């Protein structure tokens, strides 16, 4: 797709892909990618080299570059034609916030013999990236930072949301070039993210291929980010690697934002319980320097096929949590998205209304029953979830009982599969402080 972008400048054409054995189709595509990265002014040079390195295999992989008898063309030409017709034009001309490349990546991973979950890779669905923008009430002058940007889904959603809110061409240019920042550790994901951003003509120069946790928060604050968005690696933390807990990523992001910045994350619900000694200490430290605004429990099928029960947490950075702060804890499990067999998570016609109800409650435009939203003061040692604060004074039916048992068993299974069996072990107070 980067090569196809170069075709707009008459320096590449699909018709040039002839299966030549001297200069292969892969070499022609590689050269076009190189030229387009230069045209996009990707800098420094080491970044461009890292990206090019991910594409080097196409130059001389025989199967890709020799003419296939059934296709009567090289597979590379076949793929290029398909991408141009089905994908490229949608990205370049429809102005969609859909992360097509991220969806490609997720689909490829499902057939790869590994699923990315061992690395904590769980890509965020489009309706969640858009919900993030709404919950933090994104403004055209915001500076957005995603330190675990993956395929750049949050940055793409933020860019489109901000561009829609201004008619000022100078401000639109600033949004694309200066107001979107990301860090990604994995070179292949970094390449995908950078490609994604280049194709949309925006902030490719503000992406960094590095380890977020090794960055100095004081230096990251110089970006003056007013909004932090993050879907950190899941299930990587342990007693011996407490810095990899999702709550540790959260604290590092909060410390990296400007004072008063809005921070929004999506993490497993277990992150909000803080059962281990290390996680509780981090939660207490967060309260000393930052404010929790609320937590939204999500549909258990949000990451369909992964087995993670997620929630969204919203914070204000750089302002200690007041003891009398009224936080919102919302149960948004019924979000209007349902699983369709062999297809995945699909939006039903009630989804938009349910989302609007959530936003109206979040921004205090309407009141809601406590079964949907509980407003309360909180302690750092509390479980920051709606289920912890909600008291149901209605007599449960047999169906309610069956559903609750089913939800609990699903949660327990998901946690055990993520290496968090300790959440269900019975320990006394002395033993729990040693976890």
pLDDT tens-digit series, residues 37-62: 888 777 666 678 888 888 899 998 99
Closest CA to 264 of 301, 306, 296: 296
More confident residue, 429 or 376: 376
Question: Which letter does DSSP use for residue 261 in this model?
Answer: -
pLDDT of 430 reads: 53
Residue 157, both tokens: 């959603």
More confident residue, 99 or 247: 247
Contact between 177 and 200 (Cβ < 8 Å): no
Average pLDDT on 204-210 reads 81
Residue 129, both tokens: 């990236």
pLDDT at 156 over 60: yes
Contact between 37 and 51 (Cβ < 8 Å): yes
Percent of the chain with pLDDT over 90: 57
Residue 76, both tokens: 């590379």
Length of the chain counted residue by residue: 435
Residue with tokens 């008619």, as numbered in its chain: 167
Structural domains in the chain, CATH included, are: 2-93 (no CATH), 102-397 (3.40.50.150)
pLDDT at 210 over 60: yes
Q: Among 243-257, 283-297, 343-357, 399-413, which stretch is predicted with the lowest mean pLDDT?
A: 399-413
pLDDT tens-digit series, residues 300-351: 999 887 778 999 999 999 999 999 999 999 999 999 999 988 778 899 999 9
Identify the helix (H) or strand (E) that includes residue 283. Answer: helix 277-289
What is the overall mean pLDDT for the chain?
87
Sorting pLDDT into bands at 50, 70 and 90, what band is 114?
very low
* Main-chain dihedrals φ then ψ at residue 422, nearest 5 degrees: -60, -20
């Amino acid at each position: 797709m980067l090569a196809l972008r170069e075709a707009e400048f008459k320096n590449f054409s699909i018709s040039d892909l002839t299966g030549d054995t001297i200069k292969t189709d892969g070499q022609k595509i590689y050269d076009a990618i190189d030229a387009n990265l230069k045209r996009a002014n990707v800098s420094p040079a080491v970044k461009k080299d890292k990206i090019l390195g991910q594409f080097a295999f196409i130059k001389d992989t025989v199967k890709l570059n020799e003419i296939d008898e059934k296709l009567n063309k090289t597979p590379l030409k076949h793929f290029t034609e398909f991408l141009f017709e089905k994908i490229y034009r949608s990205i370049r001309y429809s102005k969609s916030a859909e992360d097509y490349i991220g969806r490609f990546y997720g689909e490829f991973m499902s057939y790869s013999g590994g699923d990315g979950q061992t690395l904590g890779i769980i890509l965020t669905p489009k309706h969640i990236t858009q919900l993030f923008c709404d919950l933090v009430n994104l403004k055209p002058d915001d500076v957005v930072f995603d330190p675990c940007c993956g395929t750049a889904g949050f940055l793409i959603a933020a860019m489109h949301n901000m561009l829609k809110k201004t008619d000022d061409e100078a401000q639109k240019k600033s949004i694309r070039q200066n107001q979107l920042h990301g860090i990604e550790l994995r070179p292949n994901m970094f390449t995908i993210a950078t490609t994604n951003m280049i194709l949309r003509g925006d902030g490719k120069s503000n992406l960094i291929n590095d380890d977020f946790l090794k960055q100095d928060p004081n230096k990251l604050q110089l970006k003056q980010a007013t909004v932090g968005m993050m879907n950190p690696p899941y299930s990587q933390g342990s007693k011996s690697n407490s810095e990899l807990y999702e709550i540790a990523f959260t604290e590092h992001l909060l410390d990296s934002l400007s004072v008063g910045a809005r921070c929004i994350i999506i993490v497993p619900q277990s992150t909000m319980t803080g059962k281990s000694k290390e996680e509780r200490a981090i939660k207490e430290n967060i309260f000393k320097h930052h404010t929790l605004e609320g937590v939204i429990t999500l549909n258990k099928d949000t990451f369909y096929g992964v087995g993670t029960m997620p929630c969204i947490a919203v914070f204000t950075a750089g302002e200690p949590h007041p003891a009398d702060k009224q936080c919102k804890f919302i149960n948004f499990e019924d979000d209007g998205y349902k699983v369709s067999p062999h297809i995945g998570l699909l939006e039903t016609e009630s989804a938009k209304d349910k989302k609007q109800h959530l936003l109206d409650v979040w921004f205090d435009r309407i009141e809601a029953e406590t079964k949907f939203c509980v407003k309360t003061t909180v302690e750092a040692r509390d479980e920051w979830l709606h289920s912890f604060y909600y008291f149901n004074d209605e007599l449960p039916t047999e169906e309610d009982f069956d559903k609750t048992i089913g939800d609990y068993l699903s949660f327990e299974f998901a946690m055990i599969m993520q290496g968090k069996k300790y959440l269900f072990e019975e320990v006394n107070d002395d033993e729990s402080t040693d976890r």
